[in-house]
Chain A
C-alpha cells in the first residue's frame, strides 16, 4: 500500500503571504504509459466535505482560484497558496489515486497568523 505523508501538520500565514504544504508518497505514483502523476489535493473547511483543488499533481480543477498551484515529481509534491486569503483557512489533504487503497495524507491545517 502507498503511504502519503504531509508536512507541516499545521501552519499560520499572514494574509497576502504564501503558504506551502509538502506531501510525500512512499512509492512512485508516476504512471509511465501516460507520464502522469496520480496525486490530488483537497481543501476541507469546517463542517464541509472536501473539495478537489488540484489533480494530476498540477492541474487546477475548474473554478479553483489561480492562487492555488501544485507541483512535484516522483514521490515529492507541493501545494502552494500564493497570497493567502481569509477564506483559505482549512485543512488540506493530498491523495494518491495511482492504486487502491487510494490513500490520503494526514492533512495540514492552515490558519491566519
Chain B
C-alpha cells in the first residue's frame, strides 16, 4: 500500500526546535520530489518547503515565512523525509503534512499529518 506517515509532532515552547519525520512506503521514494504543507487550526493550506530528488541535486525551496528557520531534507536509503524546525513561533502551530509531488508538480499523495503546537 502506498503510504506516507508523519511523526514527531508535539508541544514546544516559542524559540524551541522540533524535527518532523515522514516514512514513505509502497513506492520508489527516491524518484519523487517531496514537500511539507501545513494547516493552522481552522485555516487553509500553506506550502512550507520542498526537497527535490537526487537527479536535481536535492535542491530545496522554502516559503518566506519559514526560510532560515526550517530545513527540509531526505534520506532515500531510509525512504524518509524530514523537517527540522528551529526558532519556532506561536504562528507555526499547525498540522504538518508530508506530501508527494507527482511528475509535473501536483501533490498526489498526502500523509495524515502531525500536529505541532508552539505555546508557553
Q: Are B50 and A52 in contact (CB under 8 A)?
A: no
Q: Which of B28-52 contact A (CB under 8 A)?
A: 35, 44-47, 50
Cβ of A93 within 8 Å of any chain B Cβ, yes or no, is yes
Q: Across the two chains, which residue of chain B brings its CB closest to A51? A: B110
Give chain A nearest CB distance to B105 CB in angstroms: 4
Tell me which of A36, A40, A56, A106 contacts B107 (CB under 8 A).
Answer: A40
Q: Are B107 and A38 in contact (CB under 8 A)?
A: no
Q: Known contacts being A61-B108, A106-B44, is A49 close to B113, with CB within 8 Å?
A: yes
Q: Are B97 and A104 in contact (CB under 8 A)?
A: no
Of the four ranges (under 10, 10 to 19, 20 to 34, 35 or more), the interface on chain A belongs to 20 to 34
Tell me which of A49, A97, A105, A106 contacts B105 (CB under 8 A).
Answer: A97
CB 8 Å contact bits of A72-107 with B (1 = contact, 0 = none): 000000000000000000000101011011111111
Cβ of B112 within 8 Å of any chain A Cβ, yes or no, is yes
Q: Are B110 and A55 in contact (CB under 8 A)?
A: no
Q: Are A101 and B107 in contact (CB under 8 A)?
A: no
Q: Are B104 and A101 in contact (CB under 8 A)?
A: no
Please, which residues of chain B bring their CB within 8 A of the CB of A52? Answer: 102, 106-108
Q: Which of B63, B102, B106, B113 has the most CB of A within 10 A?
A: B106
Bound CA–CA A49/B115 (angstroms): 12
Q: Are A100 and B105 in contact (CB under 8 A)?
A: no
Q: Are B110 and A93 in contact (CB under 8 A)?
A: no
Q: Are B50 and A104 in contact (CB under 8 A)?
A: no
Give chain A nearest CB distance to B96 CB in angstroms: 11
Give chain A nearest CB distance to B57 CB in angstroms: 16
Give chain B nearest CB distance to A42 CB in angstroms: 7
29 CB-based A-B contacts, threshold 8 Å: A1-B64, A36-B104, A38-B104, A40-B106, A40-B107, A44-B45, A50-B45, A50-B107, A51-B110, A52-B102, A52-B106, A52-B107, A55-B106, A55-B108, A95-B45, A95-B106, A95-B107, A98-B105, A100-B47, A101-B64, A102-B47, A102-B50, A103-B47, A104-B45, A104-B47, A105-B44, A106-B44, A107-B44, A107-B45
Q: A52-B102, A61-B106 given. 7 additional CB < 8 A pairs?
A: A38-B104, A44-B45, A52-B108, A55-B108, A56-B106, A93-B44, A97-B107
